[in-house]
Structure 1
Amino acid sequence: MTEFDAILFDAGGVLVLPSPEMTGPLVEPFGGSAEPAVLMRGHFAGAHAMDHARAEGEESDWLAYGRAYVRAAGVPADREAEAAEAFVEGFNYTWWREPVPTAARTLHALAERGVPIGIVSNAGGQVENDLAALGICGVDTPGAARVACVIDSHVVGVSKPDPAIFRHALDALGLAASPRIAYVGDTVFFDVRASVAAGLTPLLHDPFGLHAADPHPSGPHRVLPRLEDLLDLV
């Protein structure tokens, strides 16, 4: 018996990551590594730190992301503060262009099985074109996995953790909110919170086990270590 009838995905931290070609030069001057595998972990360390910052009432969660990212990149402790400030100042929202290695083939496999899928992302208006250009997915993109919608917060005017953003995706899918619709995200504060409030089932993409090891979980969620694990749930 299948567990989910449809799956919605976040983009950043699930399908794409900040490009190492762009973030590497931000950390290297401070002694950090520009190795793609190291910087991939840097993103998830940053996402985990954002959740802690929000749970502790800290509004500057992007600075918390930067501190954790540069730390994971190997920046020495005595240069961490200045490296984090430089990272946050230099980062550009258009840099989310490094595909998560298994993203395209997982979405293709889901689409081939006829599973309704869609994208719901806090973004700056670029995410639909980026996902299509990278060959990951599109509403009507030759060679890419077909999705029912790509909901960009900048375009629709509402962003997570406001659950109202999911109404746009559910309308596109032609489905009512249900726990049998999963939402795959990479943060508790933005993704788990919003999808629970919307009546969906959150799955937290956590390939390095950072949230699973957290002694103070900040919200109800199931951990998804690998995107391809979704194929066992549909």
Structure 2
Amino acid sequence: MTRSGEFDAILFDAGGVLVTPSPQSLGPVVASFGGSAEPEVHLRAHFAAAHAMDHARADGNESDWHAYGRAYLRTTGASVDEPALEAFRQGFNDTYWREPVPTAAKTLLALEEQGIPIGIVSNAEGQVEGDLAALGICGVDTPGAARVVCVVDSHVVGVSKPDPAIFLHALDAMGIPASPRIAYVGDTVFYDVRAATAAGLTPLLHDPFGYHQRDPHPSGPHRVLPRLSDLVA
């Protein structure tokens, strides 16, 4: 089991680790095409879709977000045709990532209490720091939320995963060099595991529904984190 004592610091992705697409916004869209609007179903749908996106990349299909949409709709029980995909894309674009992952805030608070430096490194559009603070998940200085050393947003710093250079901003903020003693928790192989590995960090693939464990392709030699709470010693 992965424990925080193995690491000198832990970095987290935002989407698929701390937040997922909002079922309050996507639920009605999906329901109009026969899918479920239940939040638990949408949580599972994201991880099924993230796994499908990795498959699309590994199989040489650049339309990874098309694969994401198809898998998300299929997992909710919705029809998977062009009208449904177009409606999903529009709803997803309007929604972004505003549904807290269960246990995310609690896990970050527990890590802070243990004295583990934590930070956020996310491909985003300039909104991730404000969203995480507004949701009470974490912030550089957000009352009542876990304190993080930094929130690195790809739009703000001008580099995005899978380019490993994005991690330099977090490492500089923390004042520590790259090392396998620094973990990065993400939810995709293509964007997160590859980038963290190339940066010299230890990637942990967040996989609460076991999609990558049951089907290791296209996973590589990396560790899976079934639950965020497994990080808490």
Q: Do both proteins adopt the same fold according to a TM-score greater than 0.5, normalized to the shorter chain?
A: yes
Shift of 1:220: 2.4
Q: Give runs of aligned pairs for residues 1-234 of structure 1, distance below 5 A.
A: 2-76=5-79, 79-92=80-93, 94-232=95-233
| 2:120–2:151 Cα contact (<8 Å) kept | yes
Tell me, in whole angstroms, the C-alpha distance in 1 between the residues paired with 2:216 and 2:142. Answer: 43
| 1:62–1:88 Cα contact (<8 Å) kept | no
| 1:11–1:121 Cα contact (<8 Å) kept | yes
Calculate the TM-score normalised by the size of structure 2: 0.95
Q: Report percent identity of matched pairs.
A: 77
Tell me, in whole angstroms, the C-alpha distance in 2 between the residues paired with 1:173 and 1:190. Answer: 22
**RMSD over aligned Cα, in angstroms?**
1.3
- Unaligned segments of structure 1, at least 5 residues: none
| 1:70–1:80 Cα contact (<8 Å) kept | no
Residues 4-55 of structure 1: per-residue CA shift (max 9 Å, x gap): 1100000000000111011112211110000000010010011001100000
Shift of 1:219: 2.3
Shift of 1:94: 4.7
| 1:10–1:184 Cα contact (<8 Å) kept | yes
Shift of 1:59: 1.0
| 2:10–2:118 Cα contact (<8 Å) kept | yes
Tell me, in whole angstroms, the C-alpha distance in 2 between the residues paired with 1:93 and 1:17. Answer: 13
Tell me, in whole angstroms, the C-alpha distance in 1 between the residues paired with 2:140 and 2:60. Answer: 38
Stretch of structure 1 that moved more, 159-168 or 54-63: 54-63
Q: Which residue identity lines up with residue 87 of structure 2 in the other structure?
A: A
| 2:55–2:218 Cα contact (<8 Å) kept | no
Shift of 1:101: 1.1
Shift of 1:86: 2.2
Tell me, in whole angstroms, the C-alpha distance in 2 between the residues paired with 1:82 and 1:188. Answer: 29
Shift of 1:3: 1.0
Runs of 4+ aligned structure 1 residues displaced above 3 Å come to 79-82
Tell me, in whole angstroms, the C-alpha distance in 2 between the residues paired with 1:167 and 1:88. Answer: 32
2:7 is paired with a residue whose SS is coil
Tell me, in whole angstroms, the C-alpha distance in 2 between the residues paired with 1:172 and 1:133. Answer: 22
